Amino acid sequence: MRPRRTGPAGHAGGFTLIELLVVIAIIALLVTILMPSLNVALDIARTAICRANLRHLQLAYALYLNDSGGEFFPYYDGPIYMPYLLPYHGDNHDFRLCPTCERLPGNYVMGDAKVCWVRGTGDLDWGSYGISGWLFGTTAGGNPGGRAHYCNTDKPFPDAWYRRPDLVDHPSRTPSLGNCVWDDGWPWHDNPPEVFAGDYYWQMTRFVIDRHSRAVNMAFMDGHVEGVPLPALWLLQWSPLFEPCEVELEF
C-alpha cells in the first residue's frame, strides 16, 4: 500500500475514497432517520398556518355580522363569501389558501385534499375553504340561500337554516368555515359516510377530505378553530335540524 501524503504539520492531505464513502453513508443514514421527523414538523407547521387562516376568516366573518346588524350574507352564483369578508381581512387573498394545497390552472377545478377549488377566472374565484350553506341569509323566493334542491335529502325548509346568528343554539359546535373541496356545502346527517373521491353531490363529502392527517380544520360560530377528525364531522351541529350521529369511515 502506498503511504498517504501528509501536509506540513503531518496531517493527511485529503480523504481516501473509503473515508469519503463512509461519510456519505453516514449522511444518508442521518437523512433517512430525520426525514420522518421533518415531514411531521412540516405537517404541524402547515396545520398551524391553516388554522391561522381560518381564524382570520372567522374574525372577518364576525366583523361583517357586526356591521350587517346580524344578517347573514345572501347566496348567489359567484364568489360565495369572498366579496363580503375580503374587506375585513385587509384584502389579503393568501388567507383563502391552505398551505397543503396548490392552485391548478383552469377556470373550473374541483378541489381535493391537495388542490384548491377554482370556479372562475376572477381574483375571488378560488380557495381552499368552504362556508356552511346553512348560514346564508334569506334571498328572493323566501328560502334562505335559495338552495333547497342542493341538499340531496327530504327535510323541511326553511327551518333547516339558522337564518340569524342569534338563533345558533350551539355556537361552539356549529361550523362556519372549513377545509372544503368547493366554496360551500350543506351537510346533512343522512349523507353517506364517505371520504371525498371526486363526486361532491353529497354535501358532507365536500368537507370529508384527508387534508390534515385524516382531519380537517374548521372554524366555529363562537370564534374558535380546531382540527376535526373526519368521522367527527357527523357529530357537529351543522343546522338546527341536523341530528349528530356516529359513523365509521373507511380510508
Residues 96-122 have pLDDT tens digits of: 999 999 988 888 898 999 999 998 888
Q: Does 61 score more than 90 pLDDT? A: yes
Residues 162-201 have pLDDT tens digits of: 878 998 999 999 999 999 999 999 999 989 999 998 877 7
Q: Which residues pair with 127 in a beta bridge?
A: 117
**E strand map for 72-181:** 117-118, 126-127, 129-132, 175-179
Q: What integer is the mean pLDDT of 126-145?
A: 75
What length does the chain have?
251
- 164: number of CA atoms within 13 Å, CB side? 7
Residue span of the structural domain in which 158 resides: 17-235
Judge whether 1 lies within some domain: no
- 120: number of CA atoms within 13 Å, CB side? 9
Judge whether 170 lies within some domain: yes
0.85 surpassed by pTM:
no
Instruction: Give the cell for residue 115.
Output: 388542490
pLDDT band at 12 (very low <50, low <70, confident <90, very high): low
Judge whether 109 lies within some domain: yes
Judge whether 39 lies within some domain: yes
Task: Count how many domains the chain has.
Answer: 1
Judge whether 250 lies within some domain: no
Judge whether 244 lies within some domain: no
